[in-house]
Chain A
Amino acid sequence: MPVQLYNRFLAILVLMALAAAVGLMFRPVRRMAGGMGLAEWWRWPAFGVAALATVGSLVFSEVIGYQPCTLCWYQRIAMYPMVVVFGVDLMGGGRRTRRYTLPMAVAGGAISLYHYLLQVFPAVDRGVCGTGVSCSARYVEEFGFISIPFMAGAAFALIIAILLAFGRPVATGEASNGG
């Protein structure tokens, strides 16, 4: 039960994240979200998403025992540092968070997309995973389509959406909102 429950929990969060990411593409939603505080406090959800994705992936590998494949590691390389960057920014240390995190999120998202395509169409594989842990194996398949790279991709997508919608670089000297 716990693993099944955990997978379902993350899958529902992923659906929410995707809905939010898509919603943020539209001006009225952006305006509404901004009015509710995200324009000022966007670092909190960005940090939350990165932290949840990091903890989620660590639970998969260290608690449940799913061995990460090469592409999983590449996505981790993109996701894990964002927790630190957003975290530092939350403490008031950041000025150009978007400049650092947006490329990481885009790169991570691109890898997630490729990884997911690899799972759906194994013929796309160009041997990136070699003989190690299979990249096309699906440890998780919630609702028939949500696998681990799909989850990661949704997290990257939401971070990208938040950064594009609200995370404009703050001019030097302008006070960080601490959030």
Chain B
Amino acid sequence: MAARSQNAKQRRWVIIGGAAAVLIAALVAITTVTGTAPDTVEVTVTGDPVPVLSSNVPLGQDIAFGWDAPLVEGTDWNGNPVTIDPGDGRSKLIVFLAHWCPHCQAEVPQVQAWLNETGGHPDVDIYGIATSNDRTRPNWPPGDWLEREGWTPPTLVDNSGKAARAYGMAGTPFWAAVNAEGQVVYRIAGGIGIDGLISLQDLSTQSVEDLQAITSRSQS
């Protein structure tokens, strides 16, 4: 009888021990996980989406040239809000990155090295958009990848592809230059390197009229 009671007590302890381990793990997980996971991030787009870039074309020939850029709101990987507001009076470059895309993996360190070296253009803000996120593809999760690269531009998580569609993304990396008036002045798909980045920054600091004048001069 005593042995049976001892046995039952031991079994109870084993079960309680297992349950306690699971409970402790759950509590530690809850208290140590911070921020919003990428899977729950919502992206809000205000304004009309610009058409898809059918192919890389010279300045002024993009169908979206001069279009009002849409406002995009969301969060980064840590749940911090990221707003890309074309109406804030600042020129901006927006780069759409896919974690699995080799050209993006090559572009990010180049851009970051240049930013570290120069501090970037004082009048141009650079934003990242982590898009085409797919946990079944390499280099997942993109937040870890960008952190490893020391990526500093605010980067919005675009799991649904909403932001990418709003800017007519056509492959990654994809750059969109938006001027201080909030108009799309240039878009390009593919890696652009530092020379391309500098050119894109220059474009983003000019008005659509000035750029039109440049293109008409070069055509005549």
Contacts and interface: CB of A to CB of B under 8 A. Distances in A.
B80 to A, nearest CB: 14
B213 interface: no
A45 B11 contact: no
B39 A48 contact: no
B20 to A, nearest CB: 10
Interface string A137-152: 1110100000000000
Contacts of A4: 33, 35, 37
Contacts of A5: 29-30, 33, 37
Contacts of B140: 137-139
Nearest to A47: B18
Interface stretch (B106-114, B130-138, B201-209): B130-138
B25 A13 contact: yes
Is the interface on chain B under 10, 10 to 19, 20 to 34, or 35 or more residues? 20 to 34
Interface in B31-76: 32-33, 35-37, 39-40
A1 B37 CA distance: 4
Interface in A127-144: 133-134, 137-139, 141
A53 interface: no
Given A8-B33, A9-B29, A3 B39 contact: yes
A28 interface: no
A39 B218 CA distance: 87
A36 B135 contact: no
B18 A67 contact: no
A107 B111 CA distance: 46
A40 interface: yes
A48 B41 CA distance: 34
Nearest to B39: A3
Contact of B25 (A16, A48, A65, A179): A16
Given A12-B29, A13-B21, A37-B11, 20 more contacts: A1-B37, A3-B37, A4-B37, A5-B37, A8-B29, A9-B26, A11-B29, A12-B25, A16-B21, A16-B25, A36-B10, A40-B11, A41-B11, A52-B22, A65-B135, A66-B135, A66-B136, A133-B136, A139-B136, A141-B144
13 contacts: A1-B39, A2-B40, A3-B37, A5-B33, A8-B29, A8-B33, A11-B29, A12-B29, A37-B14, A38-B14, A66-B135, A67-B136, A137-B138
